[in-house]
Amino acid sequence: MIPEYLYALGNHLWQSTVFAGVAGLLTLALRKNHAKARHALWLASSVKFLIPFSLLIGIGGYGSRQLGWPPGPVIARTGSASPGLKIAINEIGQPFSTANHGAAPVAHPIAPLLLPAIWLCGFAGVVLFWCARWRRVGRAARGSASLHDGREVESLRRSQQIAGIQRRIELRASPAALEPGVFGLLRPVLLLPQGIADRLTDAQLDAIIAHELCHVGRRDNLTALIHMLVDALFWFHPLVWWLGAQLVEERERACDEEVLRLGSQPAVYAEGILKVCKFYLESPVVCVPGVTGSNIKKRIEEIMTAGISHKLNFAKKALLASAGIAAVAGPIAIGLLNAPRSFGQTNTSQYTFGLTTAAEKSFEVASVKPGPPGEDGWQLGVPTRGGITIQNMALKNIIASAFRTQDSTVIGPGWINDARFTIIAKGADPTVGNPVVWEMLRSLLAERFQLKYHIETKEGPVLALVVAKGGHKLTRPEDGKCAEAIKRNEHCANLRFSPFNIGITNMPIQGFLSGLARLMADRHLVDKTGLTGFYDVDVNWVPEGFTPPQPGAPPAPQPRLDEAAMMIALQEQAGLKLEAQKGPIQYLVIDHVEKSSEN
């Protein structure tokens, strides 16, 4: 099947592309304003490729857990957030997923290795290309000589004084025929070609050096290096190369505007640029910004019509501020609202009954074997680490578990109550758990057992779990067996049920209801307690007529559930009770199912 990382990459590229599109619309709104504002927008679009929205959502989720905020499912129940809105955000933000595009097609076995290899070749090619060009500038820098006097030094001092730059900048002359440029990140060096002062007047030289000082003040070599990293990582996306061209264009315009603001005459400055273009070569790497980058003809026209750009007014500043806050705070807020519970508590949805039928994701490998004859004991493992283990479980119970419904709502041939199977299955992604693993199990049932079904909704008798008079007697897990584990943010949760007892540790009331449903397999249960949060409780009773086996005696057969004794214990020990009511029930009606052969 298609590797999961391709779906994640598709979502990231989609989100980054939309982000750049929004930035493009904002630059149109700012086309009459200073270029530095447009450059900042394109730079934000470039940096977005390095920061997935999922990372910001994760930061929000981590902050929610540290602050002790209620998790997403609880907020949804209390009406503080709209589940429909969450679903819409998820569908729009992650259009590329197996859930949205049906079952993932089977790919050639070599595809998962071929695609990373192609990317690595492209990445290496881009890096080698930049390194070759960087070596050219490096040779020019190593062959340069430091300047301590002369017209160039005097021009640098005048330009620094006018611009108010106190930072020490070393001036060096290189024999290479490269245009003036800023070399280095932490200690920038202004690299001039030897003899440039002989080709330019004092005013022209001042303007050219002032342009390079603008690059130093704006740290354009650092921002260019960041985008070079984006180019290398996402070389296959045409948008990143187009963004690079926009960044160069706007940074040069920004420096042109600043040079004119500092007092250079447009005609003098334009003539100086043309002379540099005539006698020297353009800088070979964008992280060594020169003076001749971008569209020279267009720049000269804009320089000669100086004064067409305007400062941002309050409305546009507010627009940019709002857009920036929304881009960062929006995903973090989603993370805060949808944060999963910490490992000290278990996701409520794992124990919530509600018929779920999606079956598009599937296991990578799965073993299905008939259960040992004559054995009644069974075990249903936790859906985690991309897989699940089921031991000697009746097919009806497996189907009910996979579809997240109760045994009583599965209607099919009688043999599914007795036929037992052991299933050991693993998926390609070890990080997924509930509910993805249940979906994989539904796919396995369709493939191995040829399961076909339809859904019917009927009004029928239900048992509603409600709080008895006097209130419930459940305790919070912070005061129970999991108290220390919760403090250490470790996993600690347990569900126990047998004909003698039922109990939960650090679980929601839905977990307790799922245990009751296993004991009362022929009844349909619904939760009407209104209880949210996680609890500890143990309810124990002795079935009528049951005598515990004596030490050393062979194990006695398990007794049948004594519902009357359980009902009394449930009210006395938990403060809960079951009430007979009527309500809509969704039934999973099996149209066709086969016994899977051992494999």
How far apart are alpha carbons 582 and 584 in whole angstroms? 7
Q: Any residues with CB less than 8 A from the CB of 386 and at least 6 apart, and which?
A: 426, 427, 428, 429, 430, 431, 432, 433, 437
How confident is the model at residue 294, as a pLDDT?
76
| Residue 117 covered by a domain | no
| 158-174 pLDDT tens trace | 888 888 887 788 899 99
User: Does residue 325 sit in the same domain as residue 435?
Assistant: no
pLDDT (tens digit per residue) in 206-215:
999 999 899 9
Of 27-36, 140-149, 260-269, 520-529, least confident by mean pLDDT is 520-529
pLDDT of residue 551: 65
**For residue 47, what pLDDT is reported?**
94
Identify the band that residue 4 occupies on the pLDDT scale cut at 50, 70 and 90. low
**Does 97 score more than 80 pLDDT?**
no
Distance CA 285, CA 296 (A): 17
Residue with tokens 């022929």: 522
Structure tokens that stand for 132 in this block: 């070759």
Cα gap 301→270, rounded to integer Å: 9
Residue 343 has a pLDDT of 37
pLDDT bracket for residue 549 (50, 70, 90): low
Contact (Cβ atoms closer than 8 angstroms) between residue 422 and residue 394:
no
Asked if residue 570 belongs to a domain, the reply is yes
In whole angstroms, what is the distance from residue 407 CA to residue 134 CA?
Answer: 68
pLDDT at 77: 30
* Alpha carbon of residue 122 to chain centroid: 25
The average pLDDT across 294-305 equals 84
Query: Between the CA of residue 558 and those of 103, 390, 499, 549, what are the distances in Å?
Result: 43, 21, 8, 11
Q: What is the pLDDT of residue 71?
A: 43
Residues 268 and 333 in one domain: no
According to DSSP H, which parts of 143-237 are helical? 151-163, 196-199, 202-218, 220-233
- In angstroms, the CA 300 to CA 302 distance is 5
Same-domain check for residues 159 and 96: no
Using pLDDT thresholds of 50, 70 and 90, give the confidence band for residue 99: very low
Strands 410-411 and 576-592: parallel
Q: What confidence score (pLDDT) does residue 312 get?
A: 81
Q: What CA–CA distances, in Å, run from 591 to 403, 414, 455, 594?
A: 15, 13, 10, 11
User: What are the φ/ψ torsions at residue 580 (nearest 5 degrees)?
Assistant: -75, 125
The verdict on 413 and 542 lying in the same domain is: yes
102 with 208, same domain? no
Q: Is residue 300 part of a domain?
A: no
The more confidently predicted of residues 492 and 194 is 194
**What local confidence, expressed as pLDDT, does residue 342 receive?**
37
* Same domain? 522 vs 420: yes
What's the CA gap between 468 and 567, in Å, rounded? 11
Q: Whole-angstrom Cα distance, residue 289 to residue 184?
A: 10
Beta-bridge partners for 504 = 495, 537
User: 247: Cβ–Cβ under 8 A, 6 or more apart, which residues?
Assistant: 39, 42, 43, 46, 223, 224, 227, 286
Do residue 367 and residue 465 come from a single domain? yes
Residues 6+ away with beta carbon under 8 Å from 29:
316, 319
Does 202 lie in the same domain as 180?
Answer: yes
Q: Classify residue 103: in a domain, yes or no.
A: yes
- When comparing pLDDT for 82 and 357, which is higher? 357
Q: Is residue 281 part of a domain?
A: yes
Higher-scoring residue by pLDDT: 332, 353: 332
More confident residue, 93 or 245: 245
**String of DSSP letters for 328-394:** HHHHHHHHHHTPPPPTTS--GGGG------------SEEEEEEPPTT----EE---BTTEEEEEEEE
Give the Å distances, CA to CA, from 276 to 205, 339, 436. Answer: 10, 57, 62
pLDDT tens-digit map of 560-571: 778 888 889 999
Residue 423 within any structural domain of the chain:
yes
In the block, tokens 């001039």 appear at: 192
* pLDDT tens track for 29-43: 998 888 999 999 999
Distance between CA 157 and CA 170 in Å, rounded?
11
Structural domain includes residue 343: no
pLDDT of residue 107: 47
Between CA 315 and CA 48 the distance in angstroms is 25
Contacts of 133 (CB under 8 A, 6+ apart): 284, 285
Strand, coil or helix: 289 = coil
Mark whether 145 and 280 lie in a shared domain.
yes
How large a percentage of the chain has pLDDT more than 70?
82
Please report where in the chains the tokens 């569908």 appear, as a residue.
91
Q: In terms of domains, do 529 and 564 share one?
A: yes
Single-letter code of the amino acid located at 548: P
Our CA angle for 257, 260, 264, nearest 5°, is 155
134 with 103, same domain? no
Tens of pLDDT along 464-497? 899 998 899 998 888 888 888 877 777 677 777 7
C-alpha to C-alpha distance for 351 and 509, rounded to whole angstroms: 9
Q: 88-97, 243-252, 363-372, 379-388 — which is least confidently predicted?
A: 88-97
The total domain count for the chain is: 3
**Which stretches of 90-184 are assigned E, i.e. beta strand?**
145-146, 170-174, 181-183
Strands (E), 485-575: 494-498, 501-507, 525-527, 535-540
pLDDT for residue 316 is more than 80: yes
How many residues are listed for the chain in this entry? 599
Are 480 and 587 contained in the same domain?
A: yes
Whether residue 443 contacts residue 362, with contact meaning beta carbons closer than 8 Å, is answered with yes
The confidence band for 106, taking pLDDT boundaries of 50, 70 and 90, is: very low
CA angle in degrees (0–180, nearest 5) for 47-48-49: 90
Whole-angstrom CA distances from 196 to 73, 182, 543, 598 are 69, 15, 102, 84
Compute the chain's Rg from CA coordinates: 35
Count Cα neighbours of 582 within 13 Å in the Cβ-side half-sphere.
3
- Residues of the chain with pLDDT > 90, as a percent, come to 25
Distances in Å between the Cα of 92 and the Cα atoms of 13, 86, 87, 278, 560 are 13, 10, 9, 51, 51
Task: Please check the confidence at residue 583 and state whether its pLDDT lies above 90.
Answer: no
Average confidence score pLDDT of the chain: 81
> Domain residues for 483?
348-592
pLDDT of residue 177: 85
- Asked if residue 385 is part of any domain, the answer here is yes
Query: Whole-angstrom Cα distance, residue 498 to residue 565?
Result: 13
φ and ψ at 498, to 5 degrees?
-165, 175
Write the pLDDT tens digit of every residue in 401-429: 888 888 888 899 999 988 999 999 998 88
User: Pseudo-torsion of CA 304, 310, 311, 312, nearest 10°?
Assistant: -140
